[in-house]
Amino acid sequence: MFGKKKVKPLKIGLVGLGKIAVDQHIPSIRANPALELVAGCSPNARPDGVTAYDSLEDMLAAHPEIEAVAICTPPQIRHKIARQVIAAGKHVFLEKPPAATLGEAEAIADLARAKGVTVLASWHSRYAPAVETTREWIAGRKIKSIHVVWKENVRQWHPGQKWIFEAGGMGVFDPGINSLSILTRIVPEKVIVKKADLHIPVNCEAPIQVEMDLTTESGVAIRADYDFLQTGIQTWSIFVESEKGEKLELSMGGTGLSIDGKEIMKEKEAEYPGLYAHFEKLVRASQSDADFSPLRIVADAMLLGKRIDAPEYIE
Amino acid sequence: MFGKKKVKPLKIGLVGLGKIAVDQHIPSIRANPALELVAGCSPNARPDGVTAYDSLEDMLAAHPEIEAVAICTPPQIRHKIARQVIAAGKHVFLEKPPAATLGEAEAIADLARAKGVTVLASWHSRYAPAVETTREWIAGRKIKSIHVVWKENVRQWHPGQKWIFEAGGMGVFDPGINSLSILTRIVPEKVIVKKADLHIPVNCEAPIQVEMDLTTESGVAIRADYDFLQTGIQTWSIFVESEKGEKLELSMGGTGLSIDGKEIMKEKEAEYPGLYAHFEKLVRASQSDADFSPLRIVADAMLLGKRIDAPEYIE
């Protein structure tokens, strides 16, 4: 009688059973006793041990007990699926980016609000281990400048992802939006794009390299350099300098942290368990987390960016 | 004792004294007895009969009685000026588009909210005479489809406006955003971009021609065709068809209206007086009107649009 009240686990269905579902979503849900993976759906993928259906309709019909749905499809179809999920009265977990456009993302948030269900626009990089420490470090200081350096080899990390260079595929912003999700978390003010150089291969439609100047409302200068053709050392770092000259480096996508050259943290990546814990809390509290600012920054960069021809890209 | 209480006119200062200020803002303010034009500022323009200063600082220092400022500069510097105006505790009237990016526009709205001043993101085409009648017509019907046709000759209407084809200049979306401001007013739901073909001259950075597919949340198909090289008949029309086959045409940028081929309205353009009456009401009610959806649609079109080479453009 005096024991802790046992809460039934939140019953989850997955839409899309590809690489990100298998690598991250399925193990993260299974590792969290407050969650239960009921089933998944995909037109073809059949991962081991998951009750799988051909379509969302089939999955929901077979499992009316599903309370929440995580959408792990490509972004182009997320809006359509989210509409069906919300119409069925289920909570929604959106992989990043939340939708193909800001308009779609806002429409999903509006629908969820109207139906009274939770929506999480997830940004996995915000759950990297050193992000919160960096946020607190910045909060305690006057900041002089920030430099984002996100340089990776598209051939190594995105083989066969042809859509990434198509219209709407975002190009180097596909990984780059992760850095923007961290940036908009660690900086307490709004981040505004002032200038962007978009290098677009002559045979592609999305940028392969980008240099951006941004600023905060109070005038902190932010520079961001993205390169999708980086060979040798790969870099996913954010450098912050305070007005007193203190220097912080958040490295390896948020798993490493050094301050004034001294290593403070070097941990294994563990983002999705944190994301799912956040989602479960939101649902229990009947709240949503629908921050679209990283996508807004990419849209603004595409709106005012200068397009520069880059050499042909051949995978 | 029983007479109407006389309200002192709202004291207005202008930033930017170019063509739009002279043609529209100055006469509209002067024609409205609830408003008073105190002064203006510009680095060089000196329109007749306006007390003018070189800078915003000089104008505000000389006229601390100014209560509201209308910003009629090019969009690239509106954010910076709006920050100063809001910091001085004045209400803000923003010409369209409200800023160069969504991030800047949202930052202005945030600042105004924090300071407790009114901000109006003005969209003059929404005050065209036939827009409200169109909105009511749509509200009373099930709509099948909408077609926006905005075709004008850039050489005739925008001579010397070189910036329009530069990065961030928006190209044909500079006039096209007017159609989007009408569309987002007459359609009761959110409007979402699904596809855009952006024809960009090989020597320019902004589109000269655009075809877009859009949709409303409930699935009404919207097509939008923009052409900046239209010779002969110029077209600024929105065609609406109901599910019952009724047809409405809002023409000439919102001054003409016909339903099922019958002319209902054909009026002279008178947008800015309506805009200023709206602004005065907002200030008196301590409210703001900061709808950025037309700019969001352009940003989304640039985010997912397919870029197509168009022939060189020579003014």
| Buried-state track A71-87, b at ≥16 Cβ within 10 A, e below 16 | bbbebbebbebbbebbe
Q: Report the chain A residue with the minimal C-alpha distance to residue B298.
A: A303
Strand runs (DSSP E) across chain B, as ranges? 10-15, 35-41, 52-53, 68-71, 91-94, 119-121, 143-151, 191-201, 209-216, 221-227, 235-242, 247-251, 256-259, 262-266, 306-310
What is the pLDDT at residue B19? 86
Closest CA–CA distance from residue B286 to any residue of chain A (Å) = 24
d(CA B232, CA B153): 9
Share of chain B above pLDDT 90, in %: 91
Q: Phi/psi at A2 (nearest 5 deg)?
A: -100, 0
What amino acid occupies position B133? T
Q: Report the chain B residue with the minimal C-alpha distance to residue A304.
A: B168
Which of A193, A297, A303 is facing B298, going by the closest CB pair? A303
Closest CA–CA distance from residue A213 to any residue of chain B (Å) = 13
Report yes or no: A219 and A143 within 8 Å, Cβ to Cβ. Answer: no
Mark yes or no for CB contact B302/A302 under 8 Å.
yes
**pLDDT of A95 strictly over 80:** yes
Q: Report the chain A residue with the minimal C-alpha distance to residue B105.
A: A192
Locus of tokens 């929105």: B238
Share of chain A above pLDDT 90, in %: 90
What is the pLDDT at residue B161? 83
pLDDT-wise least confident of A102-116, A239-253, B3-17: B3-17
Q: Report residue A179 as tokens.
A: 């850095």
The DSSP element (H or E) to which B124 belongs, if any, is none
Nearest to B123 by CA among B52, B79, B178: B178
What is the pLDDT at residue B4? 58
Q: Report the chain A residue with the minimal C-alpha distance to residue B169.
A: A304
What is the pLDDT at residue A313? 95
Report yes or no: A225 and A150 within 8 Å, Cβ to Cβ. Answer: yes
Closest CA–CA distance from residue B51 to any residue of chain A (Å) = 32
Write out chain A residues lying below 8 Å of B167, CB-based: 304-307
Mark yes or no for CB contact B190/A107 under 8 Å.
yes
What is the pLDDT at residue B75? 86
What is the pLDDT at residue B272? 95
Q: Annotated catalytic residue: which of B6, B19, B96, B268?
A: B96
Share of chain B above pLDDT 70, in %: 98
Which of A101, A200, A296 is facing B193, going by the closest CB pair? A101
Write out chain B residues lying below 8 Å of A107, CB-based: 190, 192, 217
**pLDDT of A3 strictly over 80:** no
Report yes or no: B91 and B97 within 8 Å, Cβ to Cβ. Answer: no
Helix (H, G, I), strand (E, B) or coil at B127: helix
Peptide bond into B273 cis (omega under 30): no
pLDDT band, residue B104 (cuts 50/70/90): very high
What is the pLDDT at residue A270? 81
Mark yes or no for CB contact A107/B193 under 8 Å.
no
What is the pLDDT at residue A315? 86
What is the pLDDT at residue B136? 98
- B184-209 tens-digit pLDDT: 999 999 999 999 999 999 999 999 99
Sign of CA dihedral A203, A208, A209, A214: positive
Averaged pLDDT for residues B22-36: 96
Q: Report the chain B residue with the minimal C-alpha distance to residue A168.
A: B304
Strands B209-216 and B221-227: antiparallel
Helices and strands in chain B, H and E counts: 10, 15
Q: Phi/psi at A244 (nearest 5 deg)?
A: -85, 0
Averaged pLDDT for residues B134-160: 96
Mark yes or no for CB contact A300/B102 under 8 Å.
yes
Mark yes or no for CB contact A190/B107 under 8 Å.
yes
Write out chain A residues lying below 8 Å of B103, CB-based: 190-193, 296-297, 300
Q: What is the DSSP string of B174-205?
A: HHHHHHHHHHHHHSSS-EEEEEEEEEEETT-S
Closest CA–CA distance from residue A168 to any residue of chain B (Å) = 4
pLDDT band, residue B160 (cuts 50/70/90): confident
d(CA A291, CA B14): 35
Q: Chain B residues with CB-CB distance to A under 8 A?
A: 79, 100-104, 106-107, 110-111, 167-168, 190-193, 200, 205, 217, 296-300, 302-307
Q: Catalytic positions of A, please? A: 96
Question: Who wins on pLDDT, A242 or A76?
Answer: A242
- B260-304 tens-digit pLDDT: 999 998 988 789 999 999 999 999 999 999 999 999 999 999 999
Locus of tokens 């022939």: B311
Report yes or no: A133 and A181 within 8 Å, Cβ to Cβ. Answer: no
Nearest to A225 by CA among A258, A192, A179: A179
| Buried-state track A179-193, b at ≥16 Cβ within 10 A, e below 16 | bbbbbbbbbeebbbb
**pLDDT of B182 strictly over 70:** yes
What is the pLDDT at residue A187? 97
Q: Report the chain A residue with the minimal C-alpha distance to residue B218.
A: A83
Write out chain A residues lying below 8 Å of B305, CB-based: 167-168
Partnered with residue B239 across adjacent β-strands are B147, B249
Average pLDDT of the residues of chain B? 95
Helices and strands in chain A, H and E counts: 10, 15
Residue A201's alpha-carbon distances to A172, A208, A279, A310, B184, in angstroms, are 12, 7, 38, 4, 35
Average pLDDT of the residues of chain A? 95
Domains of chain A with CATH codes: 10-121 (3.40.50.720), 126-264+298-310 (3.30.360.10)
- A198-217 tens-digit pLDDT: 999 999 999 999 999 999 98
Q: Chain A residues with CB-CB distance to B under 8 A?
A: 79, 100-104, 106-107, 110-111, 167-168, 190-193, 200, 205, 217, 296-300, 302-307
d(CA B10, CA A303): 36
Which of A102, A111, A304 is facing B100, going by the closest CB pair? A304
Which of A100, A103, A193 is facing B103, going by the closest CB pair? A193
Report yes or no: A93 and A71 within 8 Å, Cβ to Cβ. Answer: yes
Residue B140, number of CB atoms within 10 A of its CB: 7
Report yes or no: B299 and B170 within 8 Å, Cβ to Cβ. Answer: no
Largest CA distance in chain A: 71
Closest CA–CA distance from residue B288 to any residue of chain A (Å) = 20
pLDDT band, residue B3 (cuts 50/70/90): low
pLDDT band, residue B115 (cuts 50/70/90): very high
**pLDDT of B168 strictly over 60:** yes
Q: Report the chain A residue with the minimal C-alpha distance to residue B80.
A: A217
Closest CA–CA distance from residue B44 to any residue of chain A (Å) = 26
Residue B88, number of CB atoms within 10 A of its CB: 15
Length of chain B: 315
Averaged pLDDT for residues A72-80: 90
- A262-305 tens-digit pLDDT: 999 898 878 999 999 999 999 999 999 999 999 999 999 999 99
pLDDT band, residue A1 (cuts 50/70/90): very low
Scanning B45-172, the segments in alpha helix (DSSP H) are 56-62, 78-87, 102-115, 131-139, 154-157
Closest CA–CA distance from residue B48 to any residue of chain A (Å) = 35
What amino acid occupies position A195? K
Mark yes or no for CB contact B167/A298 under 8 Å.
no
Which of B104, B110, B303 is facing A302, going by the closest CB pair? B303
Hey, of A304, A307, A309, which one would you mutate to test binding to chain B, going by the most B CBs within 10 A of its CB? Answer: A304
Hey, of B102, B165, B191, B304, which one would you mutate to test binding to chain A, going by the most A CBs within 10 A of its CB? Answer: B304
Contact residues for B178 (Cβ-Cβ < 8 A; gap 6+): B96, B123, B124, B125, B150, B236, B253
Averaged pLDDT for residues B39-66: 96
Mark yes or no for CB contact A111/B217 under 8 Å.
yes
**pLDDT of A5 strictly over 70:** no
d(CA B143, CA B134): 12
Write out chain A residues lying below 8 Å of B192, CB-based: 79, 101, 103-104, 107
What is the pLDDT at residue B1? 46
pLDDT-wise least confident of A19-23, B90-94, B248-252: A19-23
Cβ-in-10-Å burial (0-12, 13-18, 19+) of A295 comes to: buried
Q: In which order are the strands placed within the sheet that holds A247-251?
A: A262-266, A256-259, A247-251, A235-242, A143-151, A221-227, A209-216, A191-201, A306-310
